[in-house]
Amino acid sequence: MTPFAELIERLVFTPSRNAKLRLLTDYFARVPDPDRGWALAALTGGLEFPAVKAGVVRGLAVERVDPALFGWSYDYVGDLAETVSLIWPKRHGANRVPSLGEVVDTMREASRSTAPALVAGLLDTFDTNERFAFLKLITGGMRIGVSARLAKVALAQYGDADVAEIEELWHGLEPPYEDLFTWLDGRAPKPSIDDKAVFRPLMLSHPLEDGDKASIDPASYRAEWKWDGIRVQVAALGDQRRLYSRTGDDISGAFPDIVEAMDFDAVLDGELLVYQDGAVQSFNRLQQRLNRKTVTARMLEEHPAWVRLYDILFDGSEDLRDLSFDDRRQRLEQWIGRIAPGRMDLSPMIDFPDWQTLDDMRSSTANSAIEGVMLKRGDSTYVAGRPKGPWYKWKRGPLTLDTVLMYAQRGHGKRSSFYSDFTFGAWRPGEDGEPELVPVGKAYFGFTDEELAQLDKWVRGHTVERFGPVRSVAPDLVLEVAFDSVGRSTRHKSGVAMRFPRISRIRWDKPAAEADHLSTLEALIVD
């Protein structure tokens, strides 16, 4: 348990992605099986202990500690697991600290009635950091800034493998992943995962840059709309049906409507959307259904899910990935004709004679569910990752708004000495009739390092008030903000929320009074 607790402790405070990778690969190299595999499962959300609830932990704490002292401490610390880990009284002569594997075994066998005593016994053997890691482990949600994707990248680095290989294996493997580590250590061949509805890493595209158009021939590329949902893989083989996100997270649980429609044997690539009254609905509607483990009947009815199919990877057990895009497209059309799947349809192709026509179509479509167009070379095979050349995405130009900088916050890691997170506002009529600023969004990228240094200097020179790491600044600097769309939001004071906002230009020249008004932003809302 000790190395795991040390790892968690470091990861909690480490902002940099590279440093996190270093900590993870170091851990995988130092710690034996099965502990490193259990740690991997904990970090990727693959471990659950339903017998333990947060209430149990709190109950144990107030049995051991004076309730008044516990109350003051909890008020001060603010996090239950952390408070308990700090306040738990030492027991002399406690047992040897068990390994992570032993802890997992113990807790997996626990029932609701035996769990409290087991938890108390383990807390007695641990030190503060071990208690914290243990409590986070058993009450779910490590929330330490390590995504499943990052853990897989660390595995790839550790074993000098391709992350696509690990993603492909991932859902065919079980914790504590000993076969995976044995392979990464070079002591056994790659685990075999045939005939399972595992995730096949997606083929991704590069943005089309201005220079690209001159060097590629439109006749060799096919175009289709880029739909504004989330990219998914539909994998149904035998009795297994799974819906995967772009990074290989299994999101089947949140989309039982799609899973029910998967009564076929195939692996498909498509866009997950909300589809109602014969039309694709806004991304905002889809968002209601994302990041959930389960879904209510009401949500299923209000926001029905749909998959618009782009590609076919497997027809039954036949692997089509080595076929050309044109051949796969033909197979996809035939497959849809043959199977007629529910809750799915074909993404239509767009005919275009030249770039200019496509550009006009891309820019002029009134359909807010379209993000732009995709270009796929007719002879391209389906390869994992993001090869340069075969696929391009060509997004519609972003929306922009001239806003006024209101607050700046210190960044993290390399940016900890810079004010790098910016909250900006738009004008609206105040109660006294004078215009006032209301925050409309926050962005922390879009600028160069040199511009960041200038912004940091400006913030320091125009600070009006400080609140811890945040400064409010004089409303004098105009920032042009680019964003993909804007929706209504009850969580923001302005009533609007931008999607993917970034600083597109610093308007040193523009007087703040001439920045945009909230009404301009409201007019861009899509529901």
> Where on the chain is the footprint of another protein (CB under 8 A)?
10, 12-15, 19, 22-23, 26, 65-66, 68-69, 72-73, 76-79, 82-83, 86-87, 127-128, 410, 412-414, 416-417, 468-469
Q: Check 136, 226, 376, 388 and give the catalytic one.
A: 226
And the tokens for 220? 């060799």
Reference 315, options 333, 340, 332; nearest CA is 332
Whichever of 14 and 380 has its CB closer to another protein, that residue is 14
Whichever of 73 and 125 has its CB closer to another protein, that residue is 73
190 is catalytic: no
Q: How far is the CB of 13 from another protein (least distance, A)?
A: 5
* DSSP structural state of residue 53: -
Whichever of 73 and 472 has its CB closer to another protein, that residue is 73
Q: How far is the CB of 450 from another protein (least distance, A)?
A: 14
Q: How far is the CB of 89 from another protein (least distance, A)?
A: 8
DSSP string covering 471-494:
EEE-S--EEEEEESEEEE-SSSTT
Q: How far is the CB of 461 from another protein (least distance, A)?
A: 13
Omega prior to 176 cis, within 30 of 0: yes
Reference 266, options 238, 293, 288, 285; nearest CA is 238
Whichever of 34 and 411 has its CB closer to another protein, that residue is 411
CB-based contacts of 423: which residues, under 8 Å, 6+ apart?
405, 406, 407, 408, 409, 439, 441, 442
Omega prior to 511 cis, within 30 of 0: no
Q: How far is the CB of 350 from another protein (least distance, A)?
A: 47
Question: What is the rounded CA–CA span in Å between residue 187 and residue 180?
Answer: 10
Whichever of 354 and 449 has its CB closer to another protein, that residue is 449
Whichever of 68 and 366 has its CB closer to another protein, that residue is 68
Whether 441 contacts 501, CB under 8 Å: yes
Give start and end residues of each alpha helix (H) in 67-162.
Answer: 67-77, 80-87, 100-108, 115-125, 128-139, 148-159
What is the pairing mode between strands 305-315 and 344-346? parallel
Between the alpha carbon of residue 259 and those of residues 264, 299, 343, the distances in Å are 11, 15, 10
Q: How far is the CB of 441 from another protein (least distance, A)?
A: 24
Q: Which residues are known to be catalytic?
A: 226
